[in-house]
Amino acid sequence: MILSDKYELIKKNFRRFAEKEFTTEIQENLDRNGGFNWEIWEKIGKYGFTGVKIPTQYGGQGGDYMAYALMNEEFCRVCPVLGIYANTPNSLGGGPLLQCGNEEQRQKYLAPAARGEKQIVFALTEPGAGSDPGSMTTKAVADGDYYVINGRKCFISGAPIADYAIVYARTDLTQKGGRGISMFIVDLKLKGVSFGKPEAKMGINGYPTSDIVFENVYVHKDDLLGPLHKGYAVAMKTLDGGRLGVAAQALGAAQGAFEEAVAYVKERKQFGKPIYYNQGVSFMLAEMATEIEATRNLVYSAAEAKDHDASNAATLCSMAKLYATEMANKVCGQAIQLHGGYGYIKDYKVERLYRDVRVMTLYEGTSQVQKIVISRDILK
């Protein structure tokens, strides 16, 4: 797909920012020590990357899904952690507010998130409710002007550093599955909110993940997001857009690993010449490049479908996520293979990229869940 001049410029700007600002030193430091880099967060906010696809009237940049996909691609090409920093407010955090927040809620919560002043995270998953979120046990019971929330959410990306969370809880206890679930905007400073300790993860170190526990948390009814009992459908729709973001993340990370591999095979000499002289090596590069390019076309066309509100957009996003994340795992593995033993050493970037992409076939719907979504659309 040929990008227009506008998108080329958007892409170039993201690349420039990522290459210059998210230095190897910052990346390695975050990977080794975890935590969160507030300095880069401020820069991301300053340039509005936190609100790329949020409309200007809500503090965003007014970009579309294509701009959003390009950001995820280019940021993750340099480092997936950077991509995730900028992705969250645009996607899972801001998405539900944009979809069904009232004007007051959007100005109060969405605008500061779009400007990078506040952080909102998405709290759907529970210890016993992952691929089947309808089995959640967190509940919210009405009490005068308030809802009282009790329950535990787990694997919440960004929870330890967040100001607010979009929390899903069952409000109609007589209903089962996706019915009877509502969304709330919860200020994480409220009494009764506590956090688990940040998880020790395989990759994406530098963006902390933890449980959030709710014990008799009183949330005002003004912070009920969208219609009562109808939150589940919004969650599913938010996840569609999020899947496009994850697909673009995987695409970028694969591109980054591929570029590392190309540079390495030119520099590494064995048997008296650079190793790319061996067809076994050069053919691997050809396959990797072809798979990346095929993925890029799928991701961009899914973005275009979202921007045109095409009827197959949700399915395309699932296809893009399925294909891109599986491809990225494969390509990052091949990039390590081309590095030989050095690829297993932490001094080489491919080692980190390999660990970082591993989560992408898991979060925001596993590859198997994507297959359920895609096949359901085929067989409907």
By annotation, the residues acting in catalysis are 364
Q: How far lies 285's CA from each of 35, 78, 261, 354, in Å?
A: 35, 19, 8, 17
Assess 61 for contact with other proteins (CB under 8 A).
yes
Q: Helix crossing, 279-307 with 65-78: angle to 10°?
A: 150
Q: Which is nearer to other proteins, 87 or 171 (CB)?
A: 87
Q: For residues 306, 308, 314 and 317, what is the CA-based torsion angle, rounded to 10 degrees?
A: -40
Assess 367 for contact with other proteins (CB under 8 A).
no
The Cα–Cα gap between 352 and 141 comes to 44
Write out the two tokens for 183.
């969304």
Binding range to other proteins, per CB under 8 A, among 4-12, 245-253, 271-279, 335-343: 4-12
The Cα–Cα gap between 35 and 161 comes to 9
Assess 15 for contact with other proteins (CB under 8 A).
no
Task: State whether residue 331 is helix, strand or coil.
Answer: helix
Which residue from 26, 29, 35, 62 is in contact with other proteins, where contact means CB under 8 A? 62
Which residue from 2, 5, 33, 347 is in contact with other proteins, where contact means CB under 8 A? 5
Q: Which is nearer to other proteins, 5 or 145 (CB)?
A: 5
CB of 39 to other proteins, least distance (A): 14
CB 371 within 8 A of CB 98: no
Q: Which is nearer to other proteins, 71 or 123 (CB)?
A: 71
Which residue from 28, 29, 36, 47 is in contact with other proteins, where contact means CB under 8 A? 47
The Cα–Cα gap between 16 and 20 comes to 6
Q: Which is nearer to other proteins, 71 or 217 (CB)?
A: 71
Assess 266 for contact with other proteins (CB under 8 A).
no
Which residue from 10, 254, 322, 338 is in contact with other proteins, where contact means CB under 8 A? 10
Tokens 């991301």 -> residue: 44
Q: Which is nearer to other proteins, 117 or 215 (CB)?
A: 117
Helical ranges in the chain per DSSP H: 5-21, 24-33, 38-46, 65-78, 80-88, 95-100, 103-105, 111-114, 231-267, 279-307, 313-339, 349-358, 367-379
Q: Which is nearer to other proteins, 71 or 235 (CB)?
A: 71
The Cα–Cα gap between 110 and 97 comes to 6
Assess 52 for contact with other proteins (CB under 8 A).
yes
Which residue from 23, 24, 32, 56 is in contact with other proteins, where contact means CB under 8 A? 56
Which residue from 3, 39, 45, 48 is in contact with other proteins, where contact means CB under 8 A? 48
The Cα–Cα gap between 78 and 205 comes to 15
Cα 54–chain centre separation: 16
Assess 16 for contact with other proteins (CB under 8 A).
yes
**Site size toward other proteins, by CB under 8 A:** 16
Which residue from 34, 63, 151, 256 is in contact with other proteins, where contact means CB under 8 A? 63
Residues engaged in binding other proteins (CB under 8 A): 5-6, 9-10, 13, 16-17, 47-49, 52, 56, 61-63, 67
